[in-house]
Structure 1
Amino acid sequence: MTVDTGMDTRNLYSSQDFLSRHLHPDNAERKVRVLRRIAHLLAERPGDALQELVNIAVEECNGDSAGVSLEEQLPDGTIQFRWVAVAGSFSRYLGGTTPRGYSPCGTCLDRNSPQHYRLFKPYYDFLGVYAEPILDGILIPWHGPDGEGTIWLVSHRSAMEFDMSDFELLSMVAEIVSVAVAFDSRHRSDRNHDLQEGRDERNSELAHEINNPLQSISNTIFLAEQNPGDNSEFLKTAAEQLKRLSDLVALLVSKKQSWPAASSK
């Protein structure tokens, strides 16, 4: 621990303390449950994607709190983080801010890699707030259409709460949620512009294109639930469809002027 700052932040991939942990067996049922939850989110409530991400992190990884912190620039040029989605013990800080230059989130973005971190009293004293120490935490860089930031998951109760299975699950959820956030951002952007010729037709094609992998994901998850045991093949199929969906939305978001026409897949 860095005593002077109360902040201990280490690259997750080189943290032997973290990598040596095997706290939770690989749980295929947990992955199937999360995939089904996300499929419903994409189909019904894409605008709630970030909040659902942190809800899943707390509920499925046994965290005390989880959140998404996004960078924002003040009029004087100062950059800070704003907590745009929070679940668990830190929920009361939703909408709050932390400094960019002195935070584990800033370190995570500067290194552009996942971090294993802890925070103690000296850090909170510097911020002038009272909060429980973070005894175990995971930080993942976030690069979204609305800015850069981090996704974080913390425990106040145990110094060995999370392991690689939790990190991998959180990373999977974050990647999928980025699809929903990107699509919702583009949809909101379109609503703020004049109607373009043929846009309604392209939107119809887009909905059909997105629905194909989404329906396949739902069907695969249903089959996995009906066939308990080894779900590895079902999960592999679902992951392939999620990758297809992610690639599609990434392509759509990259188009600045118009939606692409539906492909022949």
Structure 2
Amino acid sequence: MPKESRSGEPNHIQRFGAPVTEKLDARRRRSPDFAAEIEALHVLTRALNVSDTEMLQTLVDIALKLCNAGSAGISLRERNARQPQTFRWVALAGQCAGLVGHLLQSDDSPAAVTLELGSPQLFAFPKRQFDCLAIVTPEVTEELVVPVPGTPEPWGALWVMAHDEHLHFDSEHRRILTSLANFTCAALTIKQAKADAEARAEDAEAARNALSAVEAHQVDFIATLGHELRNPLAPIDTALAAAQKLAAGNAAVLSALAVANRQVRQLKRLVSDLLDTSRIRHGKLSVRPAIGLLGDIVKDAMAAVTEEAERRQQQLHVTLPAYPVTVFADAARLTQVVSNLLSNAVKYTPTGGEITLRVDAPDPGTIPEDDSTLREAIITLRDNGMGIAPDVLPHIFDMFAQSPSARTRAQGGLGVGLSVVRYLVNAHRGEIAVRSEGEGTGTEVTVRLPIVCRTQLEHAAATTHGISPARILLVDDNADATEALAMLLTLDGHEVKRAQTGLEALSIVESFMPDIALIDINMPGMDGHELARLLREREQCSSTRLVALSGYAWATSDPAAGESGFDCHLIKPPSLEDLADVLRGLPDH
């Protein structure tokens, strides 16, 4: 707890003058660059597997770039030093880069003031207040400092400096820096936990338990990142869908929107892969088999990659059995398996390359009526792309595994997709194998699944998402997300009301009786669960279908979900298909 002076102000403020932090919110906030932040996440995730020095340097390089600063750095406490407020500049970027390792012997530093105040602080011309900055050149016009949290005490501080009087930091820079500081905390905690586990290596059981806890912390942290990234992706995705409806007939605009859509799909896939790793860890990534047609599953997977393959002028050949093949499998998860493998083939095959997909399966009509044994379907995918090096091939299914050549590609992914694919194949009691003669020789993937059954079905007819107009209440503290989704639903003919807080939603339902309410669970103040309970108590909402929205994978499959007052749960951002399914469940009105 900060030590207060007699006047009620922390000691540092009386000695060095108060920061000018209030200016952050007074200044015009710059527009967020979510694409740059997604790419930063990509880089930071990889940095978890390198040394502390490289990982911290990656962090400050990203802080420098995202904040457009002149200098950036991390000040960590010297935990073994005699003076508790001694800091060392462990990683620097920009014009201060040559000062790495500089030790601040006293507590007269921006980091000390920031930690004592316990929140991000902005300092104007800090060299005039702190003697420890005298070695910094050129002049520092502003310094934004945020604490790096930790237990039992903060690790230190992350900061950016401006050396140009025309550069001013704002609340958007504070948000970015705070997010990076939280990542720094998690990364340092993971590194410390691993170091502690290795130090206790003599006790093998204790070491295994510690490493397991580290892995759980890492997966949970990645899931949290995925949740946070869904917030900006949701309004972007729905706004693009609305823009496409509004731009119907304008070829130039639709062409530009198509480019944006491809990039958003790539970002959504990265986030979905991250969330699936969390679902696996929590045992929530399950399969729900049902009777279906293998041909429909493959065609759905093909639809997800055909546009990209055509853009790359690749030859995509598919061979299916001449007869309908009935399977007992989770169609959605099996589509995910095939589309992921196809996407990898498209991604790592050069322009003009060739990709072949072959499905071999017995004719269900030849299976005796009294034989319930599931027969095997074999899916073989070959490409003449970049191939896989022999030393990488044994680890291809490991989490975050990638070859060095794959890391250099702009769309290299996070290296978690094949890990999820193997999990889903195993969940279907199947096997997957990957073969390659080396880099530049192409790749062959074989998936064997015991899913073919006798039951015969006709191919499903094309469906539409046409649904009757409904009264919809959107409740989310993210204004951009609700605005974009409201526009899209309104264009489809629904009557939509929006609220950013639970109290605002309760006020709206006094005069508006929604058929369905989409409610964000994690709102400040009154959260989604409390709002759902209060809506249930109102007679005008007795028939309202309450749908919870959450970015966390495990929240949507919680066995106690029915006790929360919601009729169902959806992951943010909800797809149009998910919303259509929920709306179709409404009674005719």
TM-score scaled by length of structure 2: 0.34
Instruction: Give the 3-state SS of the residue equivalent to 2:55 in structure 1.
Output: helix
Task: Give 1:229 deviation, angstroms.
Answer: 7.1
Question: How far 1:118 sits from its partner (Å)?
Answer: 2.4
Cα offset, 1:162, TM superposition: 2.1
Q: Which of 56, 65, 68 is the equivalent residue of 1:50? A: 56
What residue is the counterpart of 1:191 in the other structure? Answer: 198
- Structure-2 separation of matches of 1:148 and 1:207: 18
Cα RMSD of the aligned pairs, angstroms, is 4.1
Q: Which letter does structure 1 place at the counterpart of 2:19?
A: T
Contact persistence 2:147–2:154 (CA under 8 A) = no
Structure 1 residues not aligned, in runs of 5+: 246-261
Written as runs of structure 1 = structure 2, the 5 A alignment for 1:43-192 is 44-45=49-50, 47=52, 48-72=54-78, 77=83, 79-119=85-125, 122-123=128-129, 129=135, 131-144=137-150, 148-192=155-199
**Conserved 8 A contact 1:7-1:119:** no
- Counterpart AA for 1:59: K
Quote how far apart the aligned CAs of 1:143 are.
2.6
Deviation for aligned residue 1:183: 0.9
Distance 1:75 1:199 in 2: 29
> Which has the larger share of helix?
1
Distance 1:26 1:121, change over 3 A: closer
Q: Flag structure 2 segments of 5+ consecutive residues without an equivalent.
A: 1-14, 238-258, 285-589
CA–CA distance in structure 2, aligned partners of residues 23 and 51 of structure 1: 27
TM-score w.r.t. the length of structure 1 is 0.69
1:190-229 → structure 2 map (5 Å cutoff): 190-199=197-206, 202=209, 205=212, 209=216, 210=218, 214=222, 227-228=261-262
Letter matched to residue 84 of structure 1:
V
Change (3 A) 1:7 1:82: farther
| Worse-matched range after superposition: 145-154 or 120-129 | 120-129
The 3 A distance-change label for structure 1 pair 136 and 8 is farther
1:9 to 14, 19, 23: 19
Cα distance in 1, alignment partners of residues 210 and 107 from structure 2: 42
State the Cα distance separating 1:81 from its structure 2 match: 1.5
1:250 maps to what in 2? Answer: none
Aligned equivalents of 2:18, 2:142: Cα separation in 1:
10
Question: What SS does the aligned partner of 1:9 have?
Answer: coil
Taking a change above 3 Å as real, the CA distance of residues 148 and 204 of structure 1, as seen in their structure-2 partners, is: closer
**What is the CA-CA distance between 1:208 and the residue it aligns to?**
6.6
Q: Structure 1 226/205 Cα, relative in aligned 2: closer, same or farther at 3 Å?
A: farther
- In 1: Cα distance, 2:47 partner to 2:133 partner: 35
- Name the structure, 1 or 2, with higher relative contact order (CA <8 Å, separation 6+): 1
Q: Give the count of matched residue pairs.
A: 235
C-alpha separation between the residues in 1 aligned to 2:107 and 2:222? 40
* Residues 1:121 and 1:193: Cα distance change in structure 2 (over 3 Å): closer
> How much does 1:23 deviate?
5.2
SS at match of 2:30: coil
Q: Please give the secondary structure, in 2, of the residue aligned with 1:101.
A: coil
Name the larger-Rg structure: 2
Q: Is the partner of 2:98 in helix, strand or coil?
A: helix
Provide the secondary structure at the position in 2 that maps to 1:191.
helix
Q: Distance in 1 between matches of 2:70 and 2:123?
A: 15
Which letter maps to 1:108?
T
Q: Matched residues in 2 for 1:108 and 1:98: separation?
A: 15
C-alpha distance in structure 1 between counterparts of 2:34 and 2:136, whole Å: 38
Query: In 2, Cα distance between the equivalents of 1:212 and 1:70?
Result: 25
Q: In 2 relative to 1, CA 234–119 (structure 1 residues): closer, same or farther, beyond 3 Å?
A: same
In the aligned structure 2, how far is the partner of 1:193 from the partner of 1:59? 39
Q: Given that residues 136 and 156 in structure 1 are in contact (C-alpha distance below 8 angstroms), is that contact kept between their aligned partners in structure 2?
A: yes
Amino acid at match of 1:45: V
Cα 1:198/1:142, change in 2 over 3 Å: same
Aligned amino acid, residue 37 of structure 2: K
Matched-pair contact (CA < 8 Å) for 2:29–2:170: yes
CA contact (8 A) 2:149 2:181 kept: no
Instruction: Specify whether residues 169 and 89 from structure 1 end up closer, same or farther in structure 2 by C-alpha distance, changes over 3 A only.
Output: same
Q: What SS is found at the alignment partner of 2:78? A: strand
* Secondary structure of 1:25 counterpart: coil
The answer on whether the counterparts of 2:193 and 2:214 sit within 8 Å (CA) in structure 1 is no
| Deviation digits for residues 13-56 of structure 1 (CA, Å, limit 9, x no counterpart) | xx1x22122352122212212122222223x3263332211110
CA shift, 1:104, in A, is 1.6
1:65–1:196 distance in 2 versus 1, CA, 3 Å? same
Asked if structure 1 preserves the Cα contact closer than 8 Å seen for 2:59 and 2:184, the reply is: yes
My pick for the range that moved more, 100-109 or 46-55, is: 46-55
- Contact 1:70/1:82, CA 8 A, preserved across alignment: yes
